[in-house]
C-alpha cells in the first residue's frame, strides 16, 4: 500500500517587493530554506501554483518559475502543476552542507540550565516505564473493552445538533457527566455529593495537582504514606510543600506517627481502600482517627481512590469521604484505569467550601478538560455499560491474579513470596527468606528480558523496611503472564531468555 502523502500545508512567506531580488528568487529561497530546516518535511505536498499565487498576491508565473528551480535542483519531485511534493531524499551535497553548518552552530555541548525544582522532579523515583510489557503496573485490559459501544456513543453525542459542545462549557465539566459520576459514587462508594461537588479533570494526576495548588503554600508540611505513590510526592514537591513520610502498620497510615512527626501538617494524602503500593485496607478505626485529626488540626485529607472498583474478596469498602462530616476530605478518582489509559478523564469531589476556590484556580491553570469524550462517557455510565464492564473485568482480573500467584510459586518460589491480594491491578511479591538476589538485581535482570518489574524500594522516601517487587497483571492474558514468569525465572538465574 503506498504511503499516504502529507496534507498540503499553509506556507508563510515574506516578500520584499522593493528589493533587488526577483520575486521568484525570493520564493525559491524561502521554500528551499523551509525544506532544509524540516518545516516542509519529505513527502509534503506543496500548494498548487494557482493557490499559492492567489494567497500571496504574486503572479502564477512567479510561482511556476520558483517551483521549476526547486524541481531542477532536486528539492521537490513530481510534475509542476499536477502534484508537487518535497523530495523524500534531498541532494547529498546539500545535506552534507547542512550538517556541517549544524556542527559549527551547535558547539556548546553543555546541558541546559534547569530550575532546582526541575532537578528534584527529574531525580524523583520511581520512573515508571510507558512501554506496555508484562508486569507493568496500572495497565488495564483494553482488548476486551467494548469499543463498538464506545464508538457509537461518541458518534451519537457528536451529531450536528450537538455543535454547542464545540464551545467552552462549564468550568467544572459536562453537567450530565458530573451528575452521572455523583450518582455512581453515591451508589457504589457511599459518597455523599451532588453534581456541583464534582469537577472533571484530565486524569487523577491533574485533580491531585489542582487540590494541592489550591490548598498548600510553600513550606507547608504534608503527611504521605510510606511507601507511597510517586505522583502524590511529585505534586507536593512541585508546590514547594515538605513531604513527611508516615509509616504504615496493619491498619494503614499511623496517625500516632504522623502526629509525632508533624502534628501541624496541612494535609494527609492516603489511599485507604487499597494502599499504593502495598495493598493494605485502612481499618474503620484508623479512618475515624484520621478524620478526627483533620478536624482538630483544620487540615485536609486527600483521598486517592485509584482502583477501588476491583475488589476480589470480602465486602466492598466504602470511601473515607463517606465518613467525613466536617468537610475535610477531597476525593479523587479516575476512569483511565477502568476503561483505557488514553481516555485521560478523572474527577475530584470537593467539599462545598472548596468548590469555588478550586474552580477559580482551575480557570487560571487549565480552564476546561477536553469535552470530546465527556458526553459519551456520561451515556456510557447512565446506560449501564460502565458497571457491566467493571463486573466483567473484576472476574477477569481475579483469574489473572490467581494465575500469576500460582506461576510465581511454581517457578520463583525460592526467590519471591507472592500472595494473593484482596484488590487492585498489581500485587507485591516480597523477597523470600534467603533470596539470592536483591530487588534491584531482579528489576535489572527483568528489564534485560523485556519485562517491567519494579523494585519496592522505589516507593520509599526513607530506607525500606520491606524488600520485594511490584508485578502488574491486569492488562495481560493468563498465557502471557505464565510465559513472562518463566522468562523472569530464566533471567534471574542468568540463563539466556528464549
Burial of 436 (0-12, 13-18, 19+ CB in 10 A): exposed
* Residue showing cell 526513607: 462
Contacts for 460 with CB less than 8 Å, ≥ 6 apart: 226, 227, 245
Going by pLDDT thresholds of 50, 70 and 90, the confidence category of residue 113 is confident
Mean local confidence (pLDDT), 240-257: 97
Cβ atoms of 52 and 80 within 8 Å: the answer is: no
Given this model, what pLDDT does residue 498 score?
43
Cβ atoms of 170 and 200 within 8 Å: the answer is: no
Q: Does residue 3 surpass a pLDDT of 50? A: no
How does pLDDT run across 148-184, given as a tens digit for each residue? 999 999 999 888 666 777 776 789 999 999 999 999 9
Better-scored residue on pLDDT, 147 or 35: 147
- Strand positions, DSSP E, 161-279: 198-201, 221-226, 242-249, 252-253, 267-270
Q: Does residue 116 surpass a pLDDT of 80? A: no
How does pLDDT run across 256-313, given as a tens digit for each residue? 999 999 999 999 999 999 999 999 999 999 999 999 999 999 999 999 998 888 888 7
Mean local confidence (pLDDT), 89-94: 62
Q: Does residue 316 surpass a pLDDT of 60? A: yes
Grid cell in block for residue 197: 461537588
User: Best-predicted range by mean pLDDT among 2-6, 105-109, 403-407?
Assistant: 403-407
User: How does strand 84-86 pair with strand 198-201?
Assistant: unpaired
Domain architecture of the chain: domains with CATH: 23-105 (1.10.10.10), 170-370 (3.40.640.10), 388-492 (3.90.1150.10)
CA distance 316 to 149: 28
Given this model, what pLDDT does residue 46 score?
87
Helix axes 60-73, 23-36, angle to 10 degrees: 40
Cβ atoms of 394 and 378 within 8 Å: the answer is: no
Which among 492, 471, 294 is positioned nearest to 400, based on CA atoms? 471
Amino acid at each position: 500500500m503506498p504511503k499516504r502523502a502529507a496534507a498540503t500545508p499553509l506556507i508563510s512567506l515574506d516578500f520584499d517587493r522593493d528589493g533587488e531580488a526577483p520575486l521568484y528568487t525570493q520564493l525559491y529561497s524561502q521554500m528551499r530554506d523551509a525544506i532544509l530546516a524540516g518545516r516542509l518535511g519529505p513527502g509534503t505536498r506543496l500548494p498548487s501554483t494557482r493557490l499559492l499565487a492567489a494567497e500571496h498576491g504574486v503572479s502564477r508565473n512567479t510561482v511556476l518559475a520558483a517551483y521549476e528551480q526547486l524541481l531542477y535542483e532536486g528539492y521537490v519531485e513530481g510534475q509542476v502543476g499536477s502534484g508537487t511534493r518535497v523530495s523524500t531524499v534531498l541532494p547529498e551535497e546539500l545535506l552534507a552542507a547542512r550538517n556541517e553548518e549544524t556542527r559549527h552552530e551547535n558547539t556548546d555541548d553543555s546541558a541546559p540550565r534547569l530550575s532546582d525544582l526541575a532537578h528534584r522532579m527529574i531525580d524523583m523515583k520511581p520512573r515508571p516505564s510507558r512501554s506496555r510489557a508484562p508486569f507493568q503496573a496500572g495497565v488495564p485490559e483494553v482488548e476486551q473493552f467494548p469499543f463498538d459501544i464506545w464508538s457509537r456513543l461518541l458518534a451519537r453525542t457528536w451529531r450536528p445538533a450537538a455543535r454547542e459542545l464545540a464551545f467552552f462549557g462549564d468550568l467544572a465539566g459536562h453537567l450530565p457527566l458530573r451528575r452521572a459520576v455523583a450518582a455512581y459514587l453515591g451508589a457504589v462508594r457511599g459518597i455523599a455529593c451532588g453534581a456541583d461537588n464534582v469537577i472533571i479533570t484530565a486524569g487523577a494526576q491533574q485533580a491531585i495537582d489542582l487540590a494541592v495548588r489550591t490548598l498548600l503554600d510553600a513550606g507547608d508540611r504534608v503527611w504521605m504514606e510510606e511507601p507511597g505513590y510517586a505522583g502524590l510526592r511529585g505534586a507536593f514537591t512541585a508546590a514547594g510543600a515538605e513531604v513527611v513520610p508516615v509509616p504504615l502498620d496493619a491498619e494503614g497510615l499511623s496517625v500516632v506517627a504522623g502526629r509525632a512527626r508533624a502534628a501541624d501538617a496541612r494535609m494527609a494524602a492516603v489511599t485507604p481502600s487499597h494502599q499504593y503500593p502495598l495493598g493494605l485496607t485502612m481499618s474503620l478505626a484508623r479512618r475515624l482517627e484520621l478524620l478526627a485529626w483533620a478536624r482538630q488540626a483544620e487540615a485536609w485529607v486527600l483521598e486517592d481512590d485509584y482502583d477501588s472498583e476491583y475488589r476480589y474478596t470480602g465486602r466492598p469498602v466504602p470511601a473515607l469521604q463517606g465518613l467525613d462530616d466536617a468537610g475535610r476530605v477531597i476525593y479523587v478518582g479516575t476512569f483511565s484505569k477502568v476503561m483505557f489509559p488514553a481516555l485521560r478523564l478523572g474527577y475530584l469531589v470537593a467539599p462545598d467550601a472548596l468548590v469555588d476556590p478550586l474552580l477559580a484556580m482551575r480557570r487560571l491553570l487549565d480552564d476546561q478538560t477536553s469535552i470530546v469524550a465527556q458526553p459519551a462517557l456520561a451515556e456510557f455510565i447512565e446506560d449501564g455499560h460502565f458497571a457491566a464492564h467493571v463486573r466483567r473485568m473484576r472476574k477477569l482480573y481475579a483469574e489473572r491474579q490467581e494465575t500469576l500467584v500460582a506461576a510465581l510459586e511454581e517457578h520463583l518460589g525460592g526467590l519471591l513470596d507472592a500472595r494473593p491480594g484482596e484488590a487492585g491491578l498489581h500485587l507485591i511479591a516480597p523477597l523470600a527468606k534467603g533470596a539470592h538476589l536483591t530487588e534491584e538485581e531482579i528489576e535489572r535482570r527483568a528489564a534485560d528480558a523485556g519485562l517491567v518489574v519494579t523494585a519496592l524500594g522505589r516507593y520509599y522516601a526513607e530506607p525500606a523496611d520491606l524488600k520485594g517487587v511490584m508485578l502488574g497483571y491486569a492488562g495481560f492474558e493468563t498465557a502471557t503472564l505464565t510465559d513472562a514468569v518463566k522468562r523472569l525465572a530464566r533471567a534471574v538465574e542468568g540463563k539466556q531468555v528464549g
